[in-house]
């Protein structure tokens, strides 16, 4: 068995932790083990998942308690939160986190708090649709909003961001069109009215999302900033018919900006692997599918690694809210990758040295190189 626990993970896509009270009781803890937002699923069915049952068993081993939810909750609550976070991150051997603060809610920690909590460096990602929503509220006209959007994206590298990120897949789909300025302006009007009425806005207007994406990718290209795209599952909002990464082909063909397809496009990971194999500027991230696919992870990785270059695959946790999620994702990911690479060696496809090299690049080196992080970690 190939044990990859000594290979550090560069977690290039994750979200902030929440204050411990958010996950202190059984209901607050269980609900993060599923993509579902339905309380019946959280109560009735999450405890019947492989992911949850294994998590309780593994955490009980780490906490040295009985493998029941009640004992795990009590044992983690007995530890100072900061120390528990440090234990999990060090055990998971996570060396660096790139964090998207656009998801998290009221109890989520901010960037300075995350830097103080984690035993490793944390760098921020800029979520484009969240930025656009804020600017629609702040700015009075379409022109002023677009100018402010372009200016913010334009200085994102200077402001410390290491990549941009889009959730177009969950809002308006990945078949990104070419709306002109007038179409985008017309789409802005009702959103601005909504913003005036309620003080907030949810951007789900296709002409505007697509128009702003083209503006953003032009700025990303100038700064050599990668752009992360959510693909496949990852949000209760997602209509998977529009989140298949194959819809991105026209967009991919019109830019040379590095594009990262998040979540392996699950369940469309073969399509995502194909795109990563075909285009020099497309990378494939396997987070969220790892850990949620659990026992199915080696099958998925077998398909992906059988097709796409090792130099194009990135591991991450997509963890959020609970420090345990970072630890669980890292553990499932190293287990699945170890299984697949071990099999490649046993079959005589790879030498042991080549398998180790592949693990090293996918768990960290590819991300360090793609995001220009070599010097700091």
| Cβ distance to Zn ion smaller for residue 13 or 274 | 13
Residue 12 C-beta: closest distance to Zn ion, Å = 11
For the record, the structure tokens of 236 come out as 């209760």
Give me the residues paired with residue 12 across strands: none
Taking the C-alpha atoms of residue 374 and residue 124, their distance in angstroms, rounded to an integer, is 16
- One symbol per residue from 306 to 345: x for binding Zn ion (CB under 5 A), - otherwise; what is it? ------------x---------------------------
The minimum distance between CB 78 and Zn ion, in angstroms, equals 30
Of 233 and 310, CB closest to Zn ion: 233
CB of 288 to Zn ion, least distance (A): 7
Contact 103, 15 (CB under 8 A): yes
- Nearer to Zn ion by C-beta: 15 or 331? 15
Binding mask 265-304 for Zn ion (x = CB under 5 A): ----------------------------------------
Question: What's the gap between Cα 220 and its chain centre?
Answer: 19
Q: Which is nearer to Zn ion, 271 or 318 (CB)?
A: 318
Of 17, 18, 4, the C-alpha closest to 93 is 4
282 membership: H or E segment, kind and range: strand 282-285
Q: Are 273 and 304 in contact (CB under 8 A)?
A: yes
Which residue has its beta carbon closest to Zn ion?
Answer: 318
Q: What minimum distance in Å lies between the beta carbon of 355 and Zn ion?
A: 29
CB of 145 to Zn ion, least distance (A): 25
Please report, for residues 169, 264, 281, 282, 357, the alpha-carbon distance to residue 175 in angstroms, rounded to integers and kept in the order given.
9, 17, 18, 16, 36
Q: Partners of 99 in the beta sheet?
A: 14, 124
* Number of residues counted as binding Zn ion (CB under 5 A): 1
Closer Cβ to Zn ion, 98 or 304, answer by number: 98
d(CA 127, CA 108): 16
Least CB distance from residue 248 to Zn ion, whole Å? 17
Asked if the peptide bond before residue 109 counts as cis, ω within 30 degrees of 0, the response is: no
Nearer to Zn ion, 179 or 333 (CB): 333
The footprint of Zn ion (CB under 5 A) covers 318
């Amino acid at each position: 068995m190939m044990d990859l626990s000594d290979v550090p993970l560069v977690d290039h896509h994750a979200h902030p932790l929440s204050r411990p009270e958010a996950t202190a009781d059984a209901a607050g803890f269980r609900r993060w083990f599923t993509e579902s937002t339905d309380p019946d699923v959280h109560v009735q069915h999450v405890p019947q998942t492989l992911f949850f049952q294994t998590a309780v068993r593994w955490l009980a081993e780490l906490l040295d308690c009985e493998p029941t939810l009640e004992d795990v909750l009590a044992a983690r609550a007995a530890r100072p939160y900061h120390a528990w976070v440090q234990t999990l991150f060090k055990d998971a051997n996570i060396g660096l986190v790139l964090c998207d603060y656009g998801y998290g809610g009221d109890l989520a920690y901010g960037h300075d708090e995350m830097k103080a909590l984690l035993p490793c460096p944390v760098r921020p990602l800029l979520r484009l649709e969240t930025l656009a929503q804020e600017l629609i509220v702040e700015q009075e006209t379409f022109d002023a909003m677009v100018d402010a959007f372009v200016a913010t994206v334009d200085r994102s590298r200077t402001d410390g961001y290491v990549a941009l990120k889009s959730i177009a897949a969950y809002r308006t789909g990945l078949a990104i069109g070419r709306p002109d300025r007038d179409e985008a302006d017309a789409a802005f009007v009702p959103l601005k009215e909504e913003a005036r009425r309620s003080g907030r806005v949810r951007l789900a207007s296709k002409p505007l999302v697509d128009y702003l994406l083209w503006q953003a990718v032009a700025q990303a290209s100038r700064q050599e900033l990668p752009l992360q795209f959510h693909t496949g599952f990852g949000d209760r909002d997602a209509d998977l018919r529009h989140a298949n990464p194959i819809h991105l082909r026209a967009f991919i063909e019109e830019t040379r900006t590095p594009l990262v397809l998040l979540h392996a496009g699950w369940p469309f990971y073969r399509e995502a692997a194909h795109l990563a194999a075909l285009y020099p500027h497309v990378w494939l991230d396997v987070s969220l599918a790892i850990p949620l696919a659990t026992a199915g992870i080696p099958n998925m990785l077998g398909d992906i690694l059988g097709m796409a270059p090792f130099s194009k695959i990135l591991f991450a946790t997509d963890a959020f809210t609970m420090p345990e999620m970072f630890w669980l994702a890292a553990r499932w990911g190293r287990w699945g990758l170890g299984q697949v690479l071990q099999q490649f060696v046993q079959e005589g496809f790879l030498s042991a040295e080549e398998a180790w090299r592949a693990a090293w690049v996918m768990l960290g080196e590819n991300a360090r190189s793609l995001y220009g992080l070599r010097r700091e970690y």
